[in-house]
Structure 1
């Protein structure tokens, strides 16, 4: 007897399957197929019936066989209860979570039982006495504890069976009724959190508080650990400070592709401590001698935004230093530093921008100093050589002549040419190509020669001039060499042919 079962639908936590039992051995399928084939051949070769009669008889035989096949097995509908979807709770235990923030008390009232009761504070009484809102200082890790433990202390012994799960007693209380909860702590590593016998969760167990934060990498790691499993989402108890591994943006994109939502309760607030960091550098990777280049980087400030602020920075290129200021108007959170640089010597260069500390300056909380990036180095190459450009055309049409003339006339301030131009013209006479070393009648099948160009511009060329072998070389030129490739379509060949 052979059993067959296939999922039909999944509704909630119940999976329904339609199952049937075949009363005959599997080899009977082959016998039925042979009988069916003989029947079809016999009917088709019959000379005493018309085509209509043959078709009708054949249809009836096939329907009868199908009814027999369907009726033989015993059918049954099975319903099975499936497991709960998993809800991952990822708790940031890095040093920045020890940073205290200022919070308005009223929005925290839904968390009052878990935030203030352990400290014996009555928030309602505080609001009544103030006759308005109250600003309170809370450490970010305390809010994380409020989501998990409530007023339970973590002084009890750790449980022996790490697979045992206790109900959460904090603001996430009750979610285990619908989800299978998995708790992890993360700083620069990811580890499951330790449970205590009283039901509390030890956020800092086995994870030393360190200044390294890899939340993005932590998200990727738990996605890897639970790959192929039903995941309802990932709850992130973090302030979002990342200075190691993958960024939150990268991890969020991977989670989005996996259809796993990220849920991020706010566990950080406002701080009056002035602080800033350098973000989003923008600069060329190469510049030319005597050509001015612009290097930019944004300055993002934290803390009280209501005041006007100037932050001094020292810019150094190894030969000279100067000071610029990032200026913030009241309410402005971000501004940009822009630096111009001109070099008279070729070679690798470094342009450094660094916060210029002044006497008595106090920037941020000590925990933040590990995270705030207050200096940046731009590394780039200063080139003296002209850019090697190859123009590939079937004939010297107007677009080709205009582009070649533009490249030939381009010079820098010192009068040196910016571009060295070579051309491949399919219609040029071979003797003319021999007279001009920068003009070719065919494309040499030499990878080293092709890889010597910085940019290749392909015009209106025929398949004979740019055959499949050369096209594959161009792919390698872009992928391996990293060369620039531009297309300039025409009316005869490209892109029609």
Structure 2
């Protein structure tokens, strides 16, 4: 017997006693035929009146009174039951349907490596062998015929009892229909006699699998009948038609359980992939960059507890000699890593970089082992304006650094710096051409700079007009501003001033952090690790520890609040407690704003030794930050302002489709990290909207991935934000095609995780090879189907009921006559 034996089958909401579940049988149902609420109320009233009379009668003993009350209650109960008009009716029912779909595609011929633990009940006897190589069709046949593999002679033997076979056990309680699926769906037979004799691998010869379509078709053929469940015995590879995910969602809406018996090892043939390359398209000569890419392990390694070491090469153009080699490892526990390869361009012009990985003996495909980058390197001078109240240490160190860099013969350090120092003596202005007598007053004068550093100035020193000009400098010109907080006026005196619009939080929300414990560390946030201008030293892996070794400030401001879109790059604190942010960044309009919540970067050179190249942390950080803040991309080929990139022209059914929206002029990119949306339209007119997210530190790129797409051609168009392309003539569009694979064996495995994610837990279950023995016991009960009913037989006026009623009346009359007299 299969299912929960406590379940009660009801007809017309009345109790039914099912003795033989699942069999073709007749069930007797007792039900109420008449409903007379008025008569019922009268009977209850009469009963209560009789009880009251007896209770009020004097001269009776306690025993006599209780005996009469019991008789009156029994008589009243029988009268009420008779007035309800109970009848008995017999209904003829039949078993619910159970659909079994067997995959006969070519992929079932493939052999997989199984551990002894995976095979479990398929093996008889003890064995010291840890791995077994078996074809999927053989395991399917073994399960259907209840066969076991003798570990001593490696031969299959069949269980002597036919009743132990799954189909025989299921046929006791269900009307079984067995189907073969492949290119088409074909009925193999009904009941235990259905043909499931697969003796050769050639019996599995279908060139494609349409699992989703087969499930829909089988259920549709049984429309109008009670279907207990659908069992699909497959390796899960769907090569055409609707996906298994779509079929699972469709069948769940019909409240029909879907049980999948999965054949194939839990281990996939591994494939190492480099994908999703990301790097700036323009850069300054000598600027620190990161070349980013995803290193993914598709499938599973044969040795689960070991990692796979992979050598990664980075080379320029077609140069066979790599300029960098690194080692990375992937494992079943950590199958994905984001690579960040540091790169400093040393020549002007278009530079092509190729990043590749060495092929391993374990992977099945080496065509996806490389990605390419193209960067336009310029040698433009970065113009910087420093605005400060007093010549504090931060100002002096920065002016000295940028001044030395501007005089340096190294083409990679080309800065031109001017400064405005409100407390400066007039003689210094005459002696030092870098020191200006006053702030730039005109728009053109201010917009000639690339980066402006605003130090510890008070709001009264910057007029409202100049503050609004700084905002335009960022939002419209696309320039960069770096604010450096200080105890005299930045940022607390700017409450209610226009410039506080560029702060990470309203000016009145800042407060001093108080006494800072020097045991704290400067912690580089996970997002900060992705910004190349925060790279200290040459090794990416040492960057976090390099920041932790920097001298911590004695003073800073802090706040519990931050505006939306503010990115925290580094914080002050310990592993267990955080004091507050130290460096934040936000995209505002066409430009960028960095806010230093402290004023002691000049101390970084005191506690840390110079790198191998001679760069100190303070020097390296500010030079890289100035280049980063002045860099922006702009469309130069007349192709418009935005492009939609689909990483490929054709994708196989079931393959994920990565989509990237790139703003060729990054100044037009929205401030919000999730403000980009595209509409994806199928050739049949069906639409869906895809929301994209910013790719970490890259302001100009937003990305998302689409999955579960059906066959056909898709067109993509940008809908948010609204960007005019060449005067509105050309919109940002792209297209791609989802195609069926050229053969059943294109993709040979589906991971255990993928199969489990397909099934809605409330409407089905996936069973891997080691769990197949539990499949039969988990088939739900289903509902038997009523096929006919006999004439109802009244039981309210049965002779035995009338006899009991007359007997009770006679006893009551006799006792009352004796006891009342």
* TM range, smaller chain: 0.3 to 0.5
TM-score between the two structures when normalised by the length of structure 2: 0.29
Higher RCO (CA < 8 A, seq sep 6+): 2
